[in-house]
Amino acid sequence: MRQIGVDERRARIGRRHRLAASSQAADAAEAAASMVALHATDPATVHLSIAARVPGSDVVATERALYDDRSLIRMLGMRRTVFVVPTAFGPIVQAACADDIAIKQRKLLVKHLTEAGVAGDAESCGTWLRAVEESTATALALRGSATAQELSADEPRLRTRLSMAEGKAYASAPYVTSRVLFQLAVEGRIVRGRPLGTWLSSQHQWSPAEDWLAGELGDKPVAEEARVALARAWLTSFGPGTATDLQWWAGWTGGQTKKALAAVEAVAVDLDGQVGYVLPADEEPEVPVEPWVAFLPALDPTPMGWKDRGWYLGAHKAKLFDSTGNIGPTVWADGRIIGGWGQPESGEVRFELLEDVGRETEALVEAEAAKWTTWLAGVRVTPRFRVPLERQLSKG
């Protein structure tokens, strides 16, 4: 097997992830495609991830791609996570990941409805759920777009309460509203549209998928074909990576991962003693890029692209990740993480370097921090998932 070392893997990040100045993307859709998908659990991440990869990008341009041109779509995908993906790639993500998630989540929701005594046994609760879903979808179609609150007014059964962790200190009785909307979304029937309020808001208008996309989503492939296409896209952006990396990233089973790698005829390579994979004819060394630095937001797709992160993360995990595996804002240089950043109430971007990078790189980092302070223009972005270094830098 050909050996691909850490230096070469880091060089690929600069070019393929559009972070080196000479390799940046032309627009939001191209930036998203270069990463397969952009994490969107935290709404700010989408805007900051695109701005890090598209020179001159701003909030207005990203919103135009999402809500006017609709070249990007926000949808549920890998690992039951919300992503923004190129609209043309949406059917691949739906068939490769979301459809399986929908089946599992429906079973879980019916179980919770049954435990809450909503409609009798599991079969009756399943029937009840289908009826509420159809009524909600009809109400949304009549409105054209609507908030969760508006849909609850149209379909009062959305205000039915579940009983979660009964008898525990953390017991709760949430409305079923969000779960029903999640189910309709993961099945590809409804779409998150414009946010309510600013670009930092996590609440959105909902629209029927067919209306939002004007019937242009395209035909959905069968699941196995979609997994092959998704594996090929991941290897293009993140290869070389291990089978474990791909399995974790996609949320697949080991068997699904193995079949997809075989179908794309992935080539095995030596990653310092581990077996990794690249696409055929992608074993050759990457063309070098100029030195670069980047400030990436919490949950940016670059650091979240592999399960094994030691080769670019080093010894910095404790300061940059939370207890459930979510990464905070990071500072990068030439394909490795060298620090983190945050914003105090005053809004400027502060950073801390976690290793000695030399004066030239530190000067680039200082310039990048100043650029981001200007870009954010006083808007303070507080990640949904806080990590120790970001908390520290956000004080004062």
Amino acid code (one letter) for 140 = L
Residue 289 corresponds to which tokens in the numbers above?
Answer: 């890029």
Question: Measured between alpha carbons, how far is 379 from 348 in angstroms, rounded to an integer?
Answer: 9
- DSSP H helices in 239-354: 243-250, 254-263, 310-313, 317-320
DSSP per-residue letters across 272-292? TTEEEEE-TT--SPPPP----
CA neighbor of 53 nearest in space, from 77, 34, 37 = 34
Neighbour-count burial for 119-143, b at 16+ CB within 10 Å, e otherwise: beeeeebbebbeebbebbbebbeeb
Sign of torsion over alpha carbons 219, 191, 141, 129: positive
Write down the number of H helices and E strands in the chain: 17, 11
Q: How far, in Å, are 6, 10, 265, 297 from residue 240 at the CA level?
A: 10, 11, 14, 23
pLDDT by position in tens, the chain (length 396)? 999 999 999 999 999 999 999 999 999 999 999 999 999 999 999 999 999 999 999 999 999 999 999 999 999 999 999 999 999 999 999 999 999 999 999 999 999 999 999 999 999 999 999 999 999 999 999 999 999 999 999 999 999 999 887 777 777 889 999 999 999 999 999 999 999 999 999 999 999 999 998 765 567 899 999 999 999 999 999 999 999 999 999 999 999 999 999 999 999 999 999 999 999 999 988 888 999 999 999 999 999 999 999 999 999 999 999 999 999 999 999 999 999 999 999 999 999 999 999 999 999 999 999 999 999 999 999 999 999 999 999 996
383: left (phi over 0), alpha (psi -120 to 50) or beta: beta
Does the bond joining 240 to the residue before it have cis omega, within 30 degrees of 0? yes
- Rounded to two decimals, the pTM is 0.95
Tokens of 230: 């998704």
Cα 374 to Cα 49: distance, rounded to the nearest angstrom? 16
